[in-house]
Amino acid sequence: MTWVTFFQQLMNGVSLGSLYALLAIGYTLVYGILGLINFAHGDVFMLGAYFAFFMIAIFMLPWWLGVIVGIVLCAIVGMTIERVAYRPLRDAPRISALITAVGVSFFIENLGLVTVGARPKGFPRPDLMKNVYILAGARIHGVTLWVPIISLAILAVLLFIVYRTKMGMAMRAVAKDMEATRLMGVNVDRVILLTFALGSALAGAGGVMWACKYPQINPLMGVFPGWKAFTAAVVGGIGNVVGAMIGGFIIGVAEIMIAAFFPSLTGYRDAFVFGILIFFLLIKPSGIMGETLKEKV
């Protein structure tokens, strides 16, 4: 393998990894606060692509506006899921919430199959994403270049919110001790709602960029990215925001590299990623950045 192809593959991996990172944040934020694995998260990612698709293709909004509306709708869906499905179970045994999460996921997927059908739809891409750039001798697609750049910008904003704003401070406090946070005068229900909004907005943005990368969208497109992002969150240390980002990039690069270095194993790339998940769960369940796990799930 030449340096140029290596660089090309590395860019592919970083690009894919940045999307996993965006999606992994949602898992890790919700897990950190509620100790719940939000299985419906991958489906919100799918909704992001569809919402944007409908805004652009049916309502004829300009591309950027359609995408923003799609992301906002995702945030609203995320808040609705929390309010309707998870909040009533806040004090229930954790397994009830977990099963509910699986139920919400199936509900959204099947609602998608019934309403828009299983046939994939072509996602409109802006020219920016279609260009081809020559970088250090390597041919880099517009998506491959812009997706990680946009993702990193979004991740920077997220880090700012979590570590530099009052709301982020409340989020970190709730994650550690929900009751003590209540005693500080924080409306914890609102913080949780906003956490879902934030995570779902990132998932929506990820879904749109995924659709730019693989412009055939279908109601089940969120399933595998969702599982892999969950893996990324575990690898990084679930509950840890920076860990989720690192995990996302590790999984993305690993997945691309296994296909690049061992072309005959390409068919096993999904299995390889889940192998990493099992490896971490066995060897270091607290992940790279995680603290020792408490009794959760």
Partner 1 sequence: MDNLVLKVDALQAYYGGIHALKGISLEVPRGKIVALIGANGAGKSTTLRTISGLVKPRSGKIYFLEEDITTCLPHTIVEKGIAMVPEGRRIFPNLTVMENLILGCYTRKDRDGIKQDLEWVFKLFPRLKERTWQKGGTLSGGEQQMLAVARGLMSRPQLLMMDEPSLGLAPLLVREIFQIIEEINRQGTTILLIEQNAKAALEIAHFAYVMETGRIALQGEGRALLQNEKVQKVYLGED
Question: Which residues contact partner 1 (rule: CB under 8 A)?
Answer: 166, 169-170, 172-173, 175-177, 179-188
Q: Are 99 and 89 in contact (CB under 8 A)?
A: no
Residue 89 or 178 having the CB closest to partner 1: 178
Residue 94 or 172 having the CB closest to partner 1: 172
Q: Are 94 and 26 in contact (CB under 8 A)?
A: no
- Tell the smallest beta-carbon distance from residue 191 to partner 1 (Å): 10
- Tell the smallest beta-carbon distance from residue 192 to partner 1 (Å): 13
How many beta carbons lie within 10 A of that of residue 261, not counting itself?
A: 11
DSSP state at residue 296: -
Q: Report the alpha-carbon distance of residue 20 to residue 96 in Å, rounded.
A: 27
Nearest by Cα to 82 from 186, 187, 239, 193: 193
Residue 60 or 183 having the CB closest to partner 1: 183
Residue 151 or 181 having the CB closest to partner 1: 181
Residues, the chain: 297
Q: Report the alpha-carbon distance of residue 168 to residue 185 in Å, rounded.
A: 15
Beta bridge partners of 122: 216
Residue with structure tokens 């990084």?
236
Residue 119 or 164 having the CB closest to partner 1: 164
- Tell the smallest beta-carbon distance from residue 8 to partner 1 (Å): 40
- Tell the smallest beta-carbon distance from residue 119 to partner 1 (Å): 47
- Tell the smallest beta-carbon distance from residue 171 to partner 1 (Å): 11
